[in-house]
Amino acid sequence: MQTVSVPLGERAYDVRIASGLLDRAAEYCLPLIPGKRALLVSDQTVYALYGQRLTEALTAAGVRVAAVTFPPGEASKSLATYEKILQAAAAVPLTGGDAFVALGGGVTGDLTGFAAATYHRGIRFMQVPTTLLAAVDSSVGGKTGVNLPAGKNLVGAFWQPRLVLCDPDLLQTLAPARYADGLAECLKYGVLWDEALFSQLEQGALFRVTEEQTARCVELKRDVVLLDERDGGQRQLLNLGHTIGHAIEQSSGYAVSHGAAVGLGMLLMARLFCPAIAGRLARALEANGLPTQLHLSLTQVAEALTQDKKRVGGEITLVVPQQIGQCELRKLPVAEVQNLLCSVEAKEEMA
């Protein structure tokens, strides 16, 4: 088993990575649920695959488990679903010694964490990620929230989980495109801080990310979260590819998946600010089943940047690659970034 500790004082927790953890969940969850009641939150597809197994594992240890489900997909990351989760928690009822348990990908984790952060002004929650993206990225670090029609993640809170259990066996039911979404985040960590990790993955790691590589991604995120838990400085480096990626997602009506959008966002940043790595990055994306061409108007994507939650006045902070393994934060006027994107479209280039 790989274990990555996140030492945040009273909010400290472990990320455990090993096959078979789903059926052993009670061993690690039970000490964190003194009230012995839990609300299992999952989308309908994931619940049909794994919900009963997790429920049985917790129930056998004496935890009373209720469940709430919702349709899969980004459209469910909404205030309406958030309210549904809160109503289900109140019906149990969950109290301070109880917990939410998120079983699923990033949408489920973000929704559950936000519900946990606000129900009774904050109760504990655990994450059991079922996607590579959630395992290496979104389940760690405490960012939670929901979307509004105006933009992605515009409502949320910082609320750390009490435990993350990553069982690689749960990734075997993922479609290749969904697995590739997580590979975009793995490549992101390589571009940011670890050229060796990037080199391991760039030839194509589809369905072959190891427990050690997963742990390395979690360690890299852990380290920057410890430096900047509230995203006021260096943690913003984790937004590599995300600023433009979120605008791509929104402009597509979320038809472009998060990982694909992040990959395209990284590639655009490379082409605009570090052309020397653009070809290598494009080849790495292709080798891992990720697109390198965007079939959307970049003018429309540029317009969506005005809704980015990280915008401060007329400026936005971009993560600009310098080389593989090194990036920097750069504040630019939103209008300048929009003009840069439009210039790319004018050249009819994206590969």
Q: How far apart are alpha carbons 112 and 47 in whole angstroms?
A: 14
pLDDT of residue 292: 95
pLDDT of 351: 44
Query: Helical H runs in 44-119?
Result: 44-46, 52-60, 79-91, 106-118
Question: Smallest Cα–Cα separation from 50: which of 74, 23, 85?
Answer: 23
d(CA 310, CA 244): 12
- Per-residue model confidence as pLDDT tens digits over 54-98: 999 999 999 999 999 999 999 999 999 999 999 999 999 999 999
Q: Which fold has domain 2-173?
A: Rossmann fold (3.40.50)
Q: Which residues of 230-244 are buried (b: 16+ CB within 10 A; e: fewer)?
A: ebeeebbbbbbbbbb
Q: Which segment of 8-12, 276-280, 305-309, 323-327 scores lowest on mean pLDDT?
A: 305-309
Q: What is the pLDDT of residue 347?
A: 60
Q: In the structure, what pLDDT confidence band is assigned to residue 346 with cuts at 50, 70 and 90? A: low
Mean pLDDT throughout 174-178?
93
Which DSSP state fits 162?
A: S
265 token code pair: 């966002």
Architecture of domain 176-347: Up-down Bundle (1.20)
DSSP code per residue over 204-241: --TT---HHHHHHHHHHHHHHHHH-TTSSSGGGGGGTT
List the domain boundaries for the chain: 2-173, 176-347
Under 8 Å between Cβ of 15 and 212: no
Q: pLDDT confidence of 313, banded at 50, 70, 90?
A: confident
Percent of the chain topping pLDDT 70: 97
CA distance 29 to 125: 10
Specify the 3-state DSSP secondary structure of 171: helix
Full-model pTM: 0.93
Q: What is the pLDDT of residue 300?
A: 87
pLDDT per residue over 127-145, tens digit each?
A: 999 999 999 999 999 999 9
Segment 195-252, tens digit of pLDDT: 999 999 998 866 689 999 999 999 999 999 999 999 989 999 999 999 999 999 999 9
pLDDT by residue (tens digit) across 26-62?
999 999 999 999 999 999 999 999 999 999 999 999 9
Is the pLDDT at 271 greater than 60? The verdict is yes
Quick one: what percent of the chain has pLDDT higher than 90?
85
Would you state the pLDDT for residue 266? 97
3-state helix, strand, coil in the chain (%, to 5): 50, 20, 25
Determine which helix (DSSP H) or strand (DSSP E) holds 317, and give its type and residue range. Answer: strand 315-323
Cα-flanking dihedrals φ and ψ of residue 112, to 5°? -65, -40
Q: How many residues does the chain have?
A: 351
How many of the other CB atoms lie within 10 Å of CB of 276? 11
Q: Which of 196, 134, 189, 175 minimizes the C-alpha distance to 289? A: 175
How confident is the model at residue 150, as a pLDDT? Answer: 87
Range from 106-110, 123-127, 158-162, 171-175 carrying the lowest mean pLDDT: 171-175
CA distance 94 to 288: 42
